[in-house]
Copies of this chain bind each other. A is one copy, B any other.
């Protein structure tokens, strides 16, 4: 877990501000839930590993000695949302479109860019099965990344039922499907033979395994076909052509599997609606992504950028989770962006606006001597009053002027005001530009406007 000193925090606040602004424009509203939930609310929702990684809070007072826990720290933002939707029921809108940007805690082993306290930025819509919800979430998350300056991200899109259909069509036994997906995921790295060996080691038959390998190995070929279509007809982009081809290939392979076929139709609609939103080019149908969490029931997605292992975020449809709290089915779908990874990449790639790195103040008012402290304070108050938003610092002691200038310079404050006895007598102040070293004498009442103008 980390402290965030001002310069790092300003980056985080910038990203959060953009996320909020974009989500608000899509009609999502803010929600916050407590850091602490009842332990039963969280246990069993994230699988075995989750149960282990949840931070648990000791009972208080006389019960402390029992060593038992009754509360736990929030582990993600989806389960608290499900609890809220179940708890508040009709007090919420029919479609509850909410965003939530808060920390979660996991007792994971820390690694590069992974922390035990980290922020999730979630956006969800409950109460509808319409693929408009998925399209809207994709469009909103895309606009967030675009606004932050990402120009080459991809949203990989798959569907739990389609995944089930593909595995079943290949003839993989139900209890081997998880293993098969883990092995297939390595196709890029270890090649066909490597994956086949893994299949064998995990007891997946050569027949089913071979069919699965054929299917996944031939997907990249569709890229060429899509390129050809895009060049030839010129009416659709390569991304759209690829998605159409991938959906066609899925129909061929999964066609006979009822739920799978419905899943493919669902993906087709999501892509079509995303097209209306102008974000279809960001989407890539990818039948290999699975998403770890067990609560997904429909579409699943992951946002990534080139040259980055792992994703910037992900999400999907989870139509049964709210029902675990309320007893009645309430459909939902959502997306989560990881603040830490976004800030890390943006820092590494120099994507933050320059003025985020600015000093803590626009001007420092220095103190000439013990007798003039009051006058410096009064002048600082005058500046704050007359230039809204101008950030004015005052040196707190009647220190040597050199020390005060050094302080301003160490903090990177761009201007320093000096009010010597002569200046004070004439109703003037000296304004020193710390970058150029240039010093100007101004009437007291002119300074606010001059500084406001000089601000970056």
Contacts and interface: CB of A to CB of B under 8 A. Distances in A.
Interface residues of A, number: 91
Contacts of A30: 4, 6, 9-10, 13
A384 B204 CA distance: 50
Interface in A73-90: 73, 80, 84, 87-88
Contact of A60 (B68, B107, B128, B276): B107
Interface of chain A, main secondary structure: mixed
A377 B277 contact: yes
A373 B3 contact: no
Contacts of A318: none
Nearest to A410: B93
A312 B206 CA distance: 72
A3 B33 contact: yes
A272 B375 CA distance: 11
Given A373-B273, A381-B276, A384-B25, A31 B3 contact: yes
Nearest to A367: B132
A58 interface: yes
Task: Report copies per complex.
Answer: 2
A369 interface: no
Contact of A1 (B36, B60, B61): B36
Interface stretch (A95-103, A172-180, A424-432, A448-456): A95-103
Given A136-B396, A277-B380, 13 more contacts: A1-B36, A5-B31, A5-B92, A13-B30, A26-B391, A56-B64, A57-B73, A93-B407, A93-B410, A125-B396, A133-B396, A136-B394, A273-B377
13 contacts: A1-B35, A9-B32, A10-B30, A28-B360, A29-B360, A35-B35, A52-B61, A53-B60, A61-B107, A66-B67, A130-B396, A273-B374, A278-B378
**Ranked 7 nearest A-B pairs via Cβ:** A67-B67, A27-B393, A1-B34, A6-B29, A276-B374, A276-B377, A27-B361
Interface of A: 1-6, 9-10, 13, 21, 24-36, 52-53, 55-58, 60-61, 64-69, 71, 73, 80, 84, 87-88, 91-95, 97-98, 103, 105, 107, 116-117, 125, 128, 130, 132-133, 135-136, 139, 272-273, 275-278, 360-361, 364, 373-375, 377-378, 380-381, 384, 389-394, 396-397, 407, 410-411
